[in-house]
Copies of this chain bind each other. A is one copy, B any other.
Amino acid sequence: MNKVFKALADPTRRRVLELLRQRPMTAGELSEHFEVSKPTMSAHFAVLREADLVDAHKQGVTITYRLKLSVLEEALLGFSQAFGIGAAPSADIPNIPPKETRS
């Protein structure tokens, strides 16, 4: 789960995931959406793979990346529920009323 959050920390990688939400795409196809070099994109893909957020499927000379939505979902939902955010079985977690002060 730490790796997932580390992976989500970079805007490029979050954008890659959003692109993959629509359909699987090849590395080159994904790269076209960004202005960074292909080695850099490749490194981003490696981080996403390492976090198990995508899987890579090689067909011939191309590599197709596919979003592993369940992994993203589990991490995000799991974390959210620890805070009582989102769809959650009503947990007995006390919350603090907002107060909006700053020094």
B90 touches A85 (CB 8 A): yes
Q: Closest Cβ of chain B: how far from A101's Cβ, in Å?
A: 5
B96 touches A23 (CB 8 A): yes
User: Which residue on B lies nearest to A24, using beta carbons?
Assistant: B96
Q: Which residues does chain B contribute within 8 Å of A73, judged by CB atoms?
A: 80, 83, 85-86
In the docked arrangement, what's the CA distance between A77 and B91, Å? Answer: 15
Interface size class of A (residues with CB under 8 A): 35 or more
| In the complex, chain A residues 52-96 whose Cβ is within 8 Å of any chain B Cβ | 55-58, 63, 66-70, 72-73, 76-77, 79-80, 82-91, 93-96
Which A residues form the contact surface with B (CB < 8 A)? 2, 5-6, 8-9, 11, 14, 17-18, 21-24, 55-58, 63, 66-70, 72-73, 76-77, 79-80, 82-91, 93-103
